[in-house]
Structure 1
Amino acid sequence: MQSEFNIMNISATGLSAQRFRIEVISTNIANSETTRTENGGPYRRKVPVFQEVLRNIKGNQENGGVMVKSIYEDPSEYRIVYDPTHPDADENGYVKLPNVNIVREMVDMINAQRAYEANATAINTTKAMINAALQIGR
């Protein structure tokens, strides 16, 4: 039973990580047209970085799931658009827009949703296996 609960714990950390990833993607999409931030300049796309969690069990390192290590700002170039009527346009009429590509964000969102679903399926399958094992004991 120990390994079944370990599977559930690992999958639970995967659920949390993918939920966080979806939140970051949602923030990127929401700010895809933000030309002015608190730091000055356009919004920069955020990307979460995950890290494996290792647990020490009886002297052996075992996988304990995943956690968010950090969030970094995508250093890619801003989009430049000609719009002389925009309040943030430069003297030549060009506006720097965030480096957020909606299509890329939607693909990342679909990948995160599928990973979330895979972790939920793993939890449900493990629960079914535990229930089946308990039924055998009756």
Structure 2
Amino acid sequence: MKLLSALRIAGSGLMAQRVRLNISSMNLANAHVTRTAEGGPYRAKDVVLAAIPLENEAKAKLSEVKVVEIVDDPSPFKEVYLSRY
């Protein structure tokens, strides 16, 4: 494995983890938001990752990580009764 291939793989993994961390922090920051601009409660987001093979390293079967998309969590909302309101 060439040094540049190793750096490319490591860099793609770090970028993917940075996106996951940003999405996780958004989910935590908006966990109790009950009204968004669209009118409904905040829906948590998930990151979809994929392993993409490197073009020049086909024999070694090396892959880098790519963020495919950021999707809304399809699970139903949790209904909570707040008696103080």
| Map of 1:75 onto structure 2 | 74
Per-residue CA deviation, residues 49-76 of structure 1 (Å, 9 max, x unaligned), is 0111223228x37534111100111111
Q: Structure 1: which 5+ runs fail to align?
A: 86-138
How many residues are aligned here? 83
Work out whether residues 50 and 67 of structure 1, in 8 Å CA contact, stay in contact via their aligned partners in 2.
yes
Q: Structure 2: which 5+ runs fail to align?
A: none
Q: Tell me the TM-score normalized by structure 1.
A: 0.54
Output the CA distance in 1 between the equivalents of 2:21 and 2:28.
10
Residue 71 of structure 2 aligns to a residue in which SS?
strand
| Map of 1:6 onto structure 2 | 5
| Map of 2:37 onto structure 1 | 38
Deviation at 1:82, TM superposition (A): 1.1
- Percent of aligned positions that are identical: 35
AA matched with 1:66: V
| Map of 1:57 onto structure 2 | 56
Output the CA distance in 1 between the equivalents of 2:21 and 2:3.
27
Give the structure with the larger helix fraction: 1
Output the CA distance in 2 between the equivalents of 1:50 and 1:3.
24
Residue 26 of structure 1 pairs with residue 25 of structure 2? yes
Output the CA distance in 2 between the equivalents of 1:53 and 1:70.
14
Greater gyration radius: 1
